Structure 1
């Protein structure tokens, strides 16, 4: 099949519903990380699901010759995956502070396991991205026009920008691997503490602290930085699709697109509702800082 300047995109991978669903889920993760700590765990679970699904779709479409994937589509899917890596990396930053502590050691163990799993997934994404940039893209179809992507302006994908992406992903892989090692060490430490307490016949029960107001201290710099970063990823994806005249990706008329759209919208609405209800009831107060 001859490649053209315009081509029909894979709507199941990055159609309108999929894109909006991912954008909403990313927004929900940032919202929870900065404003409503109790929803962080569930948001991370949902974000990991989106992240894994996008990586699986990327591997399936670019690794199977029968899919007739275009190199530019691999880049778009890789951009989605890398945005999810960035969202997950926000978990490394200091979490919103509150007056509630988690005294249960098994909760720390769970968080350590979750962090190690996230970093392992991030490392897998970076590794496959490096493979695509060095080998995979050259095995996929190309358009007859230069593939134009966004990087604070219009640049060609197969030029200096490709070299830049290789460097970025290699650095990201090193960072993910180092963070993974630290999280594995933390996991072993938490498991050791939990086993010691279990041997002493101490089984922690769910605490029942007195009802009190949770004060959430929000860093305005961190929040605005997260919003700006998210905006850059969204602009990069949308302009890449528009500039390369990709067709059939501006409708939402299939289950594969409705599912992530509904999931993303539902998660965002749930977190907003929970925060609003808690604030109206006087159980949550927000303090801003710079």
Structure 2
């Protein structure tokens, strides 16, 4: 076996997972987590999650096209991309206020990525070109993706499929329940009935954010170590516009999230001040007749 095979140089696809794109995805993960948490606390719209869902959809389409070509991508390149897409989609929190269309796309992407994940580990690896003698992945150590690690991912894909089926069934049930509630509220409003507002949720948000953060760190280490150990080249530079543009766009998104949080906090503070001023005015209006009454009582004694 020659040295070229031993060093196993793989020319990567920078337009799919170059350094700028990867850094952009990593920063976007953090931005989505912060934006989602802020939207829950401030009861505002999380438009950033919607953008991430569309981005994952576009990237997934490109990946599927490369897999159909089969000669343009190797097996060692696929599992880092799948990890990035799954991790990025996992940080999204799609609530009812994001719209049913966004929820439809989200569920479709989850089902599609799970199916693609299972196909790759069960069959796709054998159909893709393999230039290297062995391909490595990070699992708390350098391991081969072709032996027990592949079996582990096969088992994981089975559980993922089961979870995906339950997710789809739960989503369909939630859609039916939502439509029923909307129809009920419509008839109540038509009849002139009113209902109280529900209490705000949010318990356990910090715990979920902590878990998401740990998962994101693990995904980043998993991807970067896989690229390093498999000597994948041409994906470690920000020189081309196709790399530094996604990087700076993600930074701009993060800054816009912080700006939105600051603006929302200022608006909440102004609302609290206006409410306190209103209450003070009502209290002053309430006690002013009594003050006049006391003054009138003292007047005859002057």
For the aligned pair, the TM-score class normalised by the smaller chain equals: 0.7 to 0.9
Maintained 8 Å contact 2:53/2:105: no
| 1:252 counterpart SS class | coil
Maintained 8 Å contact 2:24/2:251: yes
Structure 2 residue corresponding to 1:33, chosen from 21, 36, 42: 36
Between the aligned partners of 2:71 and 2:113, the Cα distance in structure 1 is 22
Q: Give 1:193 shift.
A: 3.3
2:74 maps to 70
Structure 2 residue corresponding to 1:166, chosen from 135, 149, 154: 154
Q: Give 1:253 shift.
A: 3.8
| 1:275 counterpart SS class | helix
Q: Give 1:220 shift.
A: 4.4
Q: Say whether residues 1:23 and 2:11 are aligned partners.
A: no
| 2:224 counterpart SS class | helix
Q: Say whether residues 1:149 and 2:153 are aligned partners.
A: no
Maintained 8 Å contact 2:15/2:242: yes
Maintained 8 Å contact 2:70/2:129: no
Maintained 8 Å contact 1:116/1:184: no
2:122 maps to 134
Q: Deviations over 1:184-236 (max 9, x none)?
A: 1211222233345556775xxxxxx9xxxx99777544333222211111111
TM-score under structure 1 length normalisation: 0.77
2:227 maps to 241
Between the aligned partners of 1:60 and 1:136, the Cα distance in structure 2 is 14
Q: Say whether residues 1:186 and 2:174 are aligned partners.
A: yes
| 1:251 counterpart SS class | coil
2:8 maps to 5
Q: Give 1:52 shift.
A: 1.1
Structure 2 residue corresponding to 1:50, chosen from 46, 51, 55: 55
Q: Deviations over 1:8-66 (max 9, x none)?
A: 10001100111011111111111123344356631220221222122112211122134
Q: How many residues align?
A: 257
As a proportion of its length, which structure holds more strand?
Answer: 1
Maintained 8 Å contact 2:25/2:250: yes
Between the aligned partners of 1:77 and 1:248, the Cα distance in structure 2 is 15
Give the stretch that moved more between structures: 113-122 or 239-248.
113-122
Between the aligned partners of 2:174 and 2:201, the Cα distance in structure 1 is 28
| 2:133 counterpart SS class | coil
Instruction: Rate the CA distance shift 1:39–1:21 in 2: closer, same or farther, 3 A.
Output: farther
As a proportion of its length, which structure holds more helix?
Answer: 2
| 1:283 counterpart SS class | helix
Instruction: Rate the CA distance shift 1:253–1:163 in 2: closer, same or farther, 3 A.
Output: same
Instruction: Rate the CA distance shift 1:148–1:42 in 2: closer, same or farther, 3 A.
Output: same
2:107 maps to 119
Instruction: Rate the CA distance shift 1:22–1:144 in 2: closer, same or farther, 3 A.
Output: same
Structure 2 residue corresponding to 1:261, chosen from 220, 232, 247: 247
Between the aligned partners of 2:242 and 2:186, the Cα distance in structure 1 is 45
Q: Deviations over 1:96-125 (max 9, x none)?
A: xxxxxxxxxxx66x6455334312210111
Instruction: Rate the CA distance shift 1:84–1:166 in 2: closer, same or farther, 3 A.
Output: farther
TM-score under structure 2 length normalisation: 0.74
Name which one, 1 or 2, has greater alpha-carbon Rg: 2
Q: Give 1:173 shift.
A: 2.1
Between the aligned partners of 1:252 and 1:239, the Cα distance in structure 2 is 19
